[in-house]
Amino acid sequence: MLAESGWLPAARFAGQLAAAAPLVATEPTSAGWRIALRDFRAAVGRHNLRELACSPLLFDHFRALRAQGAADLHASVPLDVLALVGRAIPPATLRAMPDAFASRARARYEQALLGVLRTANGSPNGSPNGSPDAALDELDAIVAALAADGPYDFWRLAAACLRALRASNAPELKRFLARTNLLLGEHAQGRRHAPPALVRETVALLWRDFALFGAAAEDVALVDVLHDYGLTVDWHVAGTPASEALWEAGAAQAEHDAVAVAPTRMLGVVTVNAHAYEDFLQTADASMAELALDPAAADAGAAWRASAAAYRVGTAACALGLGHAALLADTLGLAWRRAAHGVPLAGDGLGAHRRASDLLRGALLKIAAGVAPPDLTAASGALGEALGRT
């Protein structure tokens, strides 16, 4: 039922739970399995697709469940394995650098990284002024200097991820810095494309907290990077950490209360909030003209508008719990966004774009008629494959 609803991360989590179920009666880890099931049920009940994709609690459970059945108990399970199920992530490039610049950048990066690691381990002399922030500021400056102007330069993505991880004091920060240090060495040796696995994990790390808690006005540059990679967020205003915590608590309570008392209706197997359904219909209706544009004929301005329209529909569908429509709309938003950046699809890719647009508009009309949208996974996958080739 989860896959039928388009709740793909939830379906993957459920599959991992099912795979571990035979061990429950015989292994001492059975208590952990039951806790994972309890937390998963609670998250599914909240109908929050972004939480199901990005919740650190669910990801910790997922990683533990994977480890139980893995031959290598220490095998890495990156966040994107759960967070980005079914999502197309475009390739990221590495610009050519003069040898002297590359050597200096690598030396500065390693020195600053050493400072971060030393201060993290309690050494007072690990970084300039004994401050981990000073070393991280240096790393931030180096990554910014490495980045090219293009939207799909990897170091632009890495700079955004570094700022997001710093802001949340994320435990993945040191590992991320170590991995980008290795990539910088390969970049200096002439590598021109970042490893796709690293790109996907970096995008997932950047998206996680924004997906869970929303974005504020000061996050606009980071959200712009997410839009370039096909991901959207909700917006909120919070002036201080304390007010942000209050906002999050209030939003969670408001969502709970709304689900408890609001009228609902069924769209296939998904129960949707009737008020959110009306909002969705208004968003879809206002976006139809842009979604009908021909990708072969649209100029850059039209492509920007079509991308924004698709992302609005994707966000509204996500809020409603319509996973298939949300994923296809986001993938179309990415296709239009790349076209606006001067990286359009061609040949078979244009055909995949047109078919995806037709299917999405057809799905929106069905939803407006009170009928559940069909499984749009194949259309999302075909368009995603085309995007991966550009």
* 262-389: CATH topology: Four Helix Bundle (Hemerythrin (Met), subunit A) (1.20.120)
Helix, strand, or coil here: 44?
A: helix
Task: Specify the pLDDT at position 274.
Answer: 86
pLDDT for 119 equals 74
Helix axes 196-213, 154-168, angle to 10 degrees: 40
Instruction: Output the pLDDT for position 172.
Output: 95
Higher pLDDT pick, 72 / 102: 102
CB 380 within 8 A of CB 86: yes
Chain centroid to CA 371: 28
User: Which residues of the chain are in CATH 1.20.120.160 domains?
Assistant: 262-389
**pTM across the whole model:** 0.91
Per-residue pLDDT, 339 = 97
| pLDDT(130) > 80 | no
More confident residue, 188 or 263: 188
- Mean pLDDT, range 72-80, rounded to an integer: 81
In 3D space, the residue among 277, 251, 253 whose CA is nearest the CA of residue 264 turns out to be 277
pLDDT at residue 103, as a whole number = 95
Please check the confidence at residue 101 and state whether its pLDDT lies above 80. Answer: yes
Please name the residues in contact with 199: beta carbons below 8 A apart, sequence gap of 6 or more. Answer: 89, 91, 92, 154, 157
Which pLDDT tens digit goes with each residue over 288-297? 999 999 999 9
Which whole number is the average pLDDT over 68-76?
A: 69
Does residue 51 surpass a pLDDT of 90?
A: yes
pLDDT for 312: 97
Cβ atoms of 360 and 317 within 8 Å: the answer is no
Q: State yes or no: pLDDT of 380 exceeds 60.
A: yes
Residue 34 has pLDDT above 80, yes or no: yes
pLDDT digits (tens, 9 = 90+) for 241-280: 555 555 556 655 665 565 555 688 888 888 888 888 999 9
List 270's β-bridge partners, or say none: 267
pLDDT level of residue 389 (50, 70, 90 thresholds)? confident
